[in-house]
Structure 1
Amino acid sequence: MITTPPPGWRETTVRRVLRVLDRPARSGLGVITAYRDGAVTLRSNRREDGYTFSDTENGYQEIRPGDLVFHALDGFAGAVGVSDSHGNGSPVYHVCEPIAGDDPSYLARLLRHLGTSGFLTTQAPNVRERSVDFRNWSTFARIPLMLPPADEQRVFADYLDRETARIEIFIEEQRRLIELLRERRAAAISHAVLDATTVRTQLRRVVDVIDCAHVTAEFVDDDKRYPVASIRECRGTTVDLSECNYTTAEFFDHLRASGRAPHSGDLLFIRNVSVGLVSVVTPDLPEFAVGQETVLLRRRTDIDPSFLRYALIGTEVRHAIEGAMIGSTFRRINVSAVRALPVPLPSLHEQRRIAVHLDEHTAKTDKLIAETERFIELAQERCAALIASAVTGQMDVREAVA
């Protein structure tokens, strides 16, 4: 937030700048969502899975193109923007229009910056976990603002639209590159694994498939002795406990009982939500427990853990997993289906040769992916800095369009 306004800027509040629109919902219109990336659009323009729709749209309100929409519970995280659609929106939205000739696009960018920079959190009377509550219009209306003249707002808004569009195009190109690299990595894995042998067997014949305890562990912050691995810890080649949760001694012992304690060389297979993630347990890890989303794969002497991981993330097994999954919103696979997954079984010597080859190949690809992801982060930081400089008076409007 600006402490000293630049020359020509005015000190004001949301109440003096925006007027709340109170339109009743109109039948036959789609549902509009304010997303955290600043888009305000029909859900059908993005995706509809994972949402719960209201049959009555009780309390919903009409939203028109050009309306400024602020999500009263998610605005602190960036869910504010100008609608590009005509539809109905949740009563948790403040649907507004400028009352003093200010530019709605500029105002939306300013409010979004105040949210993502943490300023709105300092203004809210009620801060919950992952949410800052501005449902009370009077509270939201008291938020202080610093605004340039309206004509400068429009110049800034047009400039930011152009520059952020360029950055977004670059980011999208980098994301497509990452997707291409991942596809090539998957193809290389499948080619190496499938060409090794025509012999197939069920997973249960090469490993012990151990279903983990169906209990929700209590997590604690003050005791780091009892780590628990779950979905987050299985996103890489090996299990990573650097950001894991910790539980109590009682839950730890219960989760590790009946042969469920992971050993070096075991694999963890995720069967709920992020189905098919699989990581190898390495000898450097401390003793840890495994969460209920996980299946423990205890290898036998005739299977190499690295090769088995590659086999399980290859296209053949991936297709089998897709065919065996159940559930609509929360996808999962039953333990019996995990046991029946088809895996290739070349000789142990051949398994190790393939694993070494793929380790080298995927390491190069993973490095390229990491570098590209860093480019995306830098571009996003550049975009945020550009917007911040415009809405806080650090940018000269004449230089912006020069």
Structure 2
Amino acid sequence: MQGLSLPSGWSESKVKYVAPGMQAGEAITAESIEPVGTYPVYGGNGLRGYTQAKTHHGTRILIGRQGALCGNVHLVSGEFWASEHAIVARASDEVDPRWLAYLLRVMNLGQYSQTAAQPGIGTAQINALPVPVPPHSEQRAIADYLDRETARIDTLIEEQQRLVELVRERREAEADALLGSPIETRHTTVKRVLRPLSRPAAPGLGVVTAFRDGVVTLRSNRREDGYTFSNTEHGYQEIRPGDLVFHALDGFAGAVGISDSHGNATPVYHVCEASAGDHLPYVARLLRYLGRSGFLATQAPNVRERSVDFRNWSMFGRLPLALPPVEEQRRIAEHLDEQTAKIDTLIAETERFIELSKERRAALITAAVTGQIDVREMA
């Protein structure tokens, strides 16, 4: 925060003077942490659980010191245990701890992490950082203003997030209603409706994934962090747009759909085409409904923790299906596609509003703690 033009009455200091005696918390074993207990245990990213002993009492600022979330800032009060994954800071007597917590949050402390494999920051790095310091009365005014304004924004964000959840539930409920009780059904099995495809991996293509929301697309269209893969792995297969893709271990949770991408996938997927003239998008939606409703779990030969195993094609092929006439399949699938598109547009607009609200929240905090706005005029 160097180079700022400070308002009259403000001074420049360093973190070590506004939060003297900063130090890491104390080690605690995982066995000592319970879901309920006498004292909360805080780590580098907030509450971890509870224990029967305490390391601190009063108001402290906790800064994550290790891992991908190092630099996170939490203001805590009361009696608690601060673990070794947190740096514990106590505001000096002349400093409002709420103001200091807001200031430290906008300083993006994570940028000072030193190791790529296991990011971490130390007290020496933080202590040396320059900070703008207003008079104590103004610190309190800034903290009061930000408490009030961020609470309003947080409430608005929570309302919008709840709206997203509700419209997603509505989307699923409408699909379930149409897929769960087809009229004029013919009773058949997966192997009579779908034909498995077996294509070798295509060189130079990205990796396709079936996600639990029914979208089958290239990982690069969503995210690639957290995955390790190689296109040269034995058994990789080519997937083309329009293929039905069923995740043999995660299909029970909704990971099935029609691919919108050309790429390769692991052998854990069943890649299929229609073999009897059925409408493939409808069949994909039906399989997803059967997974989400719990039916697939009742038919699986092997149920493991968090997965239902259908890797064996013969087992998968014996799954019973009830299908309406093809024209009705097409009508239902097209109706659901139309409704899904409308809902997805609403979700995208709402999520964009949420992101803008978060950006406004961050900008408001930055402006207040750096003196760009005088909050005393906004009381």
Shorter-chain TM-score range? 0.7 to 0.9
Query: Is contact 1:229–1:241 with CA below 8 Å preserved after alignment?
Result: yes
CA drift of 1:21 comes to 6.0
Structure 1: any 5+ residue segments left out of the alignment?
45-54, 218-223
CA drift of 1:360 comes to 1.4
How far apart are the structure 2 equivalents of 1:280 and 1:149?
61
**Equivalent of residue 356 in structure 1, options 292, 310, 334:** 334
How far apart are the structure 1 equivalents of 2:81 and 2:255?
38
1:269 aligns with 2:246: yes
- Matched ranges for 1:211-226 at <5 A: 225-226=204-205
CA drift of 1:398 comes to 1.8
Q: How many residues align?
A: 360
Partner of 2:209: 230
Percent identical residues: 32
How far apart are the structure 2 equivalents of 1:110 and 1:277?
43
1:370 aligns with 2:348: yes
How far apart are the structure 2 equivalents of 1:14 and 1:347?
71
How far apart are the structure 2 equivalents of 1:317 and 1:382?
37
- Matched ranges for 1:3-402 at <5 A: 3-4=3-4, 5-18=6-19, 19-20=21-22, 29=38, 32-33=41-42, 40-41=46-47, 43=49, 62-64=55-57, 66-73=59-66, 79-84=72-77, 86-115=79-108, 120-121=110-111, 123-124=112-113, 126-128=114-116, 132-134=119-121, 136-197=122-183, 198-208=185-195, 225-230=204-209, 237-240=215-218, 242-243=220-221, 251-252=231-232, 254-256=234-236, 260-270=237-247, 271-272=249-250, 275-282=253-260, 285-286=261-262, 288-291=263-266, 294-314=269-289, 317-321=292-296, 326=303, 328=305, 331-335=306-310, 336=312, 343-401=321-379
Structure 2: any 5+ residue segments left out of the alignment?
none
Query: Is contact 1:252–1:289 with CA below 8 Å preserved after alignment?
Result: no
Query: Is contact 1:20–1:95 with CA below 8 Å preserved after alignment?
Result: yes
What TM-score does the superposition give when structure 2 sets the normalisation length? 0.79
CA drift of 1:167 comes to 0.9
Letter in 2 for 1:70: I
CA drift of 1:158 comes to 1.2
SS at match of 1:239: strand
Query: Is contact 2:188–2:320 with CA below 8 Å preserved after alignment?
Result: yes
CA drift of 1:231 comes to 5.1
CA deviation vs aligned residue, 1:310-366 (integer Å, no higher than 9, x gap): 2133367432356669555xx222125755655431222221111111111221122
Q: 1:188 to 1:23 in 2, by over 3 A?
A: closer
CA drift of 1:67 comes to 1.5
Query: Is contact 1:212–1:294 with CA below 8 Å preserved after alignment?
Result: no
What TM-score does the superposition give when structure 1 sets the normalisation length? 0.75
Q: 1:264 to 1:396 in 2, by over 3 A?
A: closer
Q: 1:75 to 1:302 in 2, by over 3 A?
A: closer
Q: 1:22 to 1:175 in 2, by over 3 A?
A: closer
SS at match of 2:341: helix
Letter in 1 for 2:7: P
How far apart are the structure 1 equivalents of 2:2 and 2:96?
19
Aligned Cα root-mean-square deviation (Å): 3.9
Q: 1:78 to 1:91 in 2, by over 3 A?
A: closer
How far apart are the structure 1 equivalents of 2:190 and 2:356?
43
How far apart are the structure 1 equivalents of 2:251 and 2:102?
34
Query: Is contact 2:55–2:80 with CA below 8 Å preserved after alignment?
Result: yes
Q: 1:211 to 1:398 in 2, by over 3 A?
A: farther
Query: Is contact 1:262–1:281 with CA below 8 Å preserved after alignment?
Result: yes
Query: Is contact 1:194–1:344 with CA below 8 Å preserved after alignment?
Result: no
CA drift of 1:227 comes to 1.2
Q: 1:356 to 1:272 in 2, by over 3 A?
A: closer
CA drift of 1:162 comes to 0.9
SS at match of 1:289: strand
SS at match of 1:261: strand
Letter in 1 for 2:41: I
CA deviation vs aligned residue, 1:31-61 (integer Å, no higher than 9, x gap): 534576xxx43547xxxxxxxxxx9x9xx97
CA deviation vs aligned residue, 1:150-194 (integer Å, no higher than 9, x gap): 221111111111111111111111111111111111111112222
How far apart are the structure 2 equivalents of 1:299 and 1:65?
66
CA drift of 1:392 comes to 1.8
